[in-house]
Amino acid sequence: MKKTAFQKYRRLFSAALGLMLTAPPVSADEFPACLARLRAQAVQRGIAPATFDTHAARLQPDLSVLELLDTQPEFTTPVWDYLAALVDDERVDDGRAMLERWRDVLQKVEKRYGVDPATVVAVWGVESNYGRSLGKRPLLISLGTLACMGRRQNYFRGEFLDLLKIIDEGHIPPERLTGSWAGAFGQTQFMPSTFLRLAADFDGDGRRDLVDNAADALASTANFLRRGGWKSGETWGFEVRLPAGFDTSLAGRRNKRPMSTWAARGVKLADGGPLPDGGPDRALVLPAGAKGPAFLTGKNFDVIYGYNAAESYALAIAHLSDRLRGGGAFRTPWPTDDPGLSRAGRRELQRLLIARGHDIGEADGMIGAKSRRAIAQEQEALGRKADGRASSWILETLRKAEEGK
């Protein structure tokens, strides 16, 4: 979905923060010449000249994507805020309805790719809210702009040419190709290069349509996970409980050890029971440090991580898949006295902010810059740290103020 792709790229690019300051100047005047060079490269790749001339030759750059490319995260979002919105009751209920609705397709997908329905549907739910949030920016314009301007032209040139290939092969009508500013699109939020490598034509109509065909999208997600090394029948991991004074230097997603090692160190199942004997090696993942929920993860957690390189997102997908199978919330609470908000809570908070005169657009549950500014103003007026965080405390405080009117 928009947010995940956005976050994904912000993360990727924040590593290049130093480079940003020395980025070459860009000029819209050079854009037509750049497009002409891209046309030659497209033709070299076997894309029909007519495809380029029809869909790309007259593109105008969208400079706003360059701003997004260079936006530094204003603050880091705590993992419990991500989880609260990505795995809320609404998404669990919607996901269970989708499991039911797409049961036949999901069974066939599992047979062909070896990935279970709950995992596939959980990825779908986190990436695009089950196909409802695909991103609205025209991909040709965004990727064309990024291919000719800004700091990562080489990378985006490849994605732009791959996008033209997708159009040239007739998989998806060009007007349906919208997505995140950075080029992730469709119900799977694949980049064009990922599409060409891994998208599947599940219904056999000759087109790999990840925008309007849910069966193609579900199969493509499963194909992505299978190609990443998914182990059929194995769990991604499970919550555990650490003994007091546990040496957290053993933690880390790559630091896999035999179950017996963890048992010997006093690690227990979340309900206090003993760890199972044997099985594959597992890593200890502590998303919020030693005082928050702890997890023993395996290969499949890494495969999910490969879909969206952030532990918080991998955990959201993994946890949502457990909830879809009937599992409950984590046993150990997050180490905060001010929990994050579900999307319903975020919408209510936004409605309260609007009622108090803040101009934040509509109450869509997406906490953007305007919502954060409004929250920060309210926090400041209340004598709290003005971090702009959409949290339970500010929601309850504004709710009481509204009731007291």
Min dist. Cβ of residue 105 to Ca ion (A): 12
Min dist. Cβ of residue 181 to Ca ion (A): 27
167-174 contacts: CB < 8 A, separation 24 or more?
167/51, 167/55, 168/46, 168/47, 168/48, 168/51, 170/207, 171/195, 171/199, 171/207, 171/208, 171/209, 172/207, 172/208, 172/209, 172/210, 172/211, 172/212, 174/55, 174/140
Min dist. Cβ of residue 297 to Ca ion (A): 34
At 404 the three-state DSSP class reads coil
Residue nearer to Ca ion on the CB measure, 140 or 211 = 211
| Max CA distance (Å), the chain | 69
Residue nearer to Ca ion on the CB measure, 170 or 289 = 170
CB 110 within 8 Å of CB 202: no
The residue count for the chain: 405
Euclidean distance between CA atoms 112 and 332, whole angstroms = 37
Min dist. Cβ of residue 274 to Ca ion (A): 48
Side-chain half-sphere exposure of 39, counting CA atoms within 13 A: 17
Residue nearer to Ca ion on the CB measure, 146 or 199 = 199
Min dist. Cβ of residue 206 to Ca ion (A): 7
Give, as ranges, the residues between 267 and 306 that touch Ca ion (CB under 5 A): none
Q: Which stretch binds Ca ion (CB under 5 A): 25-33, 42-50, 197-205, 274-282?
A: 197-205
By CB under 5 A, residue 203 contacts Ca ion: yes
Q: Which stretch binds Ca ion (CB under 5 A): 26-34, 170-178, 208-216, 326-334?
A: 208-216
Min dist. Cβ of residue 170 to Ca ion (A): 11
Q: How far is CA 97 from the centre of its chain?
A: 21
Min dist. Cβ of residue 219 to Ca ion (A): 9
At 36 the three-state DSSP class reads helix
Q: Which stretch binds Ca ion (CB under 5 A): 193-201, 253-261, 331-339, 383-391?
A: 193-201
Query: How many residues line the site for Ca ion (CB under 5 A)?
Result: 5
Among positions 70, 168, 201, 212, the unique one binding Ca ion when judged by CB under 5 A: 201
Burial 277-291 (b: 16+ CB within 10 A, else e): eeeeebbbbbbbeee
Residue nearer to Ca ion on the CB measure, 110 or 201 = 201
Q: Which residue is nearest to Ca ion (CB)?
A: 201
DSSP 276: P
Min dist. Cβ of residue 103 to Ca ion (A): 19
Min dist. Cβ of residue 224 to Ca ion (A): 16
Residue nearer to Ca ion on the CB measure, 218 or 294 = 218
Residues in contact with Ca ion, shown as a per-residue x/- string from 212 to 251 under the rule CB under 5 A: ----x-----------------------------------
Using a 10 angstrom Cβ sphere, with 0-12 exposed, 13-18 middle and 19 or more buried, the burial of residue 42 is buried
Q: Which stretch binds Ca ion (CB under 5 A): 9-17, 204-212, 256-264, 275-283?
A: 204-212
Residue nearer to Ca ion on the CB measure, 205 or 402 = 205
Output the DSSP codes for 84-111: HHHT-HHHHHHHHHHHHHTHHHHHHHHH
In the numeric block, the tokens 């699109």 are attached to 185
Residues in the site for Ca ion, rule: CB under 5 A? 201, 203, 205, 207, 216
